[in-house]
Chain A
């Protein structure tokens, strides 16, 4: 469960990149965070994960405040950042084992978990190579594997589908569904409306730092034009 309470942030004085944001992502829910470029999605995610200090408000992850108990809060989520170019000089397996050490994954689970994840994403055969030699999509996959290794209760992903091929994208979506079904939380940002429609239990739309809509995709359709195409809908909401 992720609770975002009255959160604001400005990088530059007088220009709020996130403005008084309130959101609650419940257990068992897949939540899609939508918005045009520069809307404040990454900024919000940076604040949830503790990368960025918020100016006002607080964020709780499974009841732990990222402000007051950062370490406890950070133990409760796995995070996939928007750029997967990380640890390029490490071999895939070295990176995963490093993540396992960071998140205290028990010895007896490591092999099983790594094989399960990397075989699903078909990068198991590449684990002996440096991440530098991976394609963009492969890098994205190994970062996802690293984040999911410790079986965190909350998944936070910033545009996780970019660069993934249809099959991997499908696999990731399946994994998200299973995760939510077992009573846990998925929070991710995306530009792809179809993904949001098919996958998300609820969506939030942010524009110029302000939350302009929260609810199910159906509600969104009803609230705005009945039979509009997805693109029209998106444009209408964000251009107001």
Chain B
């Protein structure tokens, strides 16, 4: 057991440690703790606010027990979603596996430690979305000590089963990895499969919402209740715990908790038995698999063609992202996927309000759409979509220890920075085109407005790209053990979101100040503002190109 705990600690450290240690700066950095703390407080506040409103409404109509069911399901569902994203990486794509296999460790110890890492990541979030609301429930309903004890057990127990379930599924899929010669393509396939499942889920849930929002509040509660009743059958632990949390009898509470505990233990034993059988097969296949083994030995004459440096450099960046499942998911796909998902959700939402597309287009025909107000909304929506493009913010970090390459080749650093952000700009433009296409379909804007919006949005995209590579240069994460550490567990990723928020605030300010301005003039002014900002940022990147590279060693 001792070894398991030690291993868990090492895995956790590995996935959160960064550059600092390597540079010999022992920053137990206070600023990092402060940023994490603030983020945490922010979300906690948000959840308390939302939870309070909901709970208050439910208490008013004496339906507060639904709240418990909802929270428990949320914990369960989150366990599933989070594990889908993290398990492939934690179980298979971490570099340390290679060093681990030769050590005298028992298989179950490694599996247990890896599972712990997933669970711990889970508990951090569950503290926010599970623990806090349930405490709130306790306070507002004046619950006794039994409730709180049961609740703590519930928060600990509920996420275990989904984590085990999904990990097992992933292990099962990956155990075929060794059968496939071409592991890159397989990884890509597995990633896309997971993605497809998520999209299917999001579409089907948006369909579900449609049915619910049609009815009155009371009706909704009945339906929500019905849904919980329905799903409960499939998730016995949640069922038992709901009973335990809402009962008045101590005896019932104890029995239900024991039942849950029993199921979890059985699930855990099964998991360990099966995992020991299949995990290492997949892991070994994945670590030492053949790679892309191309049988064609002759080199195509085309390959020898000269190309301009910017082309091959940008090409290299794209290849590196596209051939890496984690980067593909985090950097390239969101640009296309997020606007599309949004369209689906909005479309479903529109239909459910009994307001079809026809009504919208009718409404649009009656009210003028070619206004500064609408233009700013469109720009704001684009900002919302583009904040998930993580190409520029990870441009340096993605190269990992190989980032020093930039410093010894005879190409100016500034030029290389530009080559590295071109993919970010391109993906921005893709998002912009999709969004403007949607807007045009709904609002019938004149071509000139579209062109103007396209230009301004693109400039905002360029500003984002330059600003984000500066952030990455200032705080690079170069010695990572899995791509996951760069593309997900990277604190820098809040910066594009922050910038987008700032942009949206600026847009709101403009709308407020220049309400009735002519749309062409208004958007033109915005354009000039952003051109100036972009030029200044670019100047900074150019002037500081050498200093900015100091952290790359």
Decide whether A and B are members of one complex.
Answer: yes
Q: Which residues of A contact B (CB under 8 A)?
A: 11-12, 46, 49-53, 71-72, 74-75, 79, 81, 83, 85-87, 89-91, 93-94, 97-98, 100-103, 107, 110-111, 114, 124-125, 127-130, 132-134
- Give the docked Cα–Cα distance between A96 and B345 (Å): 46
B359 within 8 A of A: no
- Give the docked Cα–Cα distance between A25 and B296 (Å): 43
Of A49, A94, A133, the residue contacting B407 (CB under 8 A) is A49
Contact B553 A111 (CB under 8 A): no
Contacts of B309 in A (CB 8 A): 101-102
Q: Mark out the residues of chain B between 472 and 492 whose CB falls within 8 Å of any chain A CB in the assembled complex.
A: none
Contact B410 A71 (CB under 8 A): yes
Contact A85 B296 (CB under 8 A): no
Of A86, A98, A102, the residue contacting B402 (CB under 8 A) is A86
Of B184, B402, B412, B553, the residue contacting A87 (CB under 8 A) is B402
Q: Most B CB atoms within 10 A — which of A89, A100, A107, A132?
A: A89
Contact A49 B294 (CB under 8 A): no
- Give the docked Cα–Cα distance between A102 and B310 (Å): 9
B307 within 8 A of A: yes
Contact B299 A93 (CB under 8 A): yes
B319 within 8 A of A: yes
Contact A89 B410 (CB under 8 A): no
Contact A71 B312 (CB under 8 A): no
Shortest CB-to-CB span from A60 to chain B, Å, is: 16
Contacts of A111 in B (CB 8 A): 301, 304
Contact A133 B320 (CB under 8 A): no
Shortest CB-to-CB span from B547 to chain A, Å, is: 9
Which residue in chain B gives the minimum CB-CB distance to A150? Answer: B410
Of B184, B305, B312, B323, the residue contacting A98 (CB under 8 A) is B312
Of B292, B303, B319, the residue contacting A93 (CB under 8 A) is B303
Shortest CB-to-CB span from B406 to chain A, Å, is: 9
Q: Which residues of B contact A (CB under 8 A)?
A: 23-24, 184, 290-294, 296-297, 299, 301, 303-309, 311-313, 316, 319-320, 323-324, 401-402, 404-405, 407-412, 550, 552-553
Contact A128 B553 (CB under 8 A): no
Which residue in chain A gives the minimum CB-CB distance to B547? Answer: A53
Contact B553 A52 (CB under 8 A): yes
Contact B323 A133 (CB under 8 A): no
Contact B411 A133 (CB under 8 A): no
Of B299, B550, B553, the residue contacting A46 (CB under 8 A) is B553
Shortest CB-to-CB span from B174 to chain A, Å, is: 17
Of A49, A72, A100, A107, the residue contacting B408 (CB under 8 A) is A49
Of A74, A90, A130, A132, the residue contacting B316 (CB under 8 A) is A90
Chief secondary structure at chain B's binding surface: loop
Given contacts A90-B319, A133-B292, 6 further A-B contacts (CB under 8 A): A94-B316, A102-B411, A110-B306, A111-B304, A125-B297, A128-B294
Which residue in chain A gives the minimum CB-CB distance to B406? Answer: A51
Shortest CB-to-CB span from B167 to chain A, Å, is: 25
Contacts of B319 in A (CB 8 A): 89-90, 94
Contact B402 A85 (CB under 8 A): yes
Contacts of B296 in A (CB 8 A): 128
Contacts of B312 in A (CB 8 A): 97-98, 101-102
Given known A-B contacts A93-B299, A132-B291, A133-B293, A71 and B550 have beta carbons under 8 A apart: no
Shortest CB-to-CB span from B397 to chain A, Å, is: 15
Contacts of B184 in A (CB 8 A): 130, 132
Of B294, B408, B409, B552, the residue contacting A129 (CB under 8 A) is B294
Question: What 5 A-B pairs are tightest by C-beta distance, nearest first?
Answer: A133-B291, A74-B410, A128-B294, A49-B408, A89-B323
Contact A103 B410 (CB under 8 A): yes
Contact B411 A129 (CB under 8 A): no
Given known A-B contacts A71-B412, A128-B296, A12 and B407 have beta carbons under 8 A apart: no
Given known A-B contacts A94-B319, A97-B303, A129-B294, A89 and B411 have beta carbons under 8 A apart: no
Which residue in chain B gives the minimum CB-CB distance to A79? Answer: B408
- Give the docked Cα–Cα distance between A98 and B409 (Å): 12
Shortest CB-to-CB span from A99 to chain B, Å, is: 8
- Give the docked Cα–Cα distance between A129 and B299 (Å): 11
Contact A129 B553 (CB under 8 A): no
Contacts of B409 in A (CB 8 A): 74, 102-103
- Give the docked Cα–Cα distance between A75 and B290 (Å): 36
- Give the docked Cα–Cα distance between A152 and B405 (Å): 17
Contact A51 B291 (CB under 8 A): no
- Can you list 28 A-B contacts with CB-CB less than 8 angstroms, sorted by A residue number? A51-B404, A51-B407, A51-B552, A71-B410, A71-B411, A72-B410, A74-B408, A74-B409, A74-B410, A87-B316, A89-B320, A90-B320, A93-B299, A94-B316, A97-B304, A98-B316, A101-B311, A102-B309, A102-B409, A107-B306, A110-B306, A124-B299, A128-B296, A129-B292, A132-B292, A133-B290, A133-B291, A133-B292
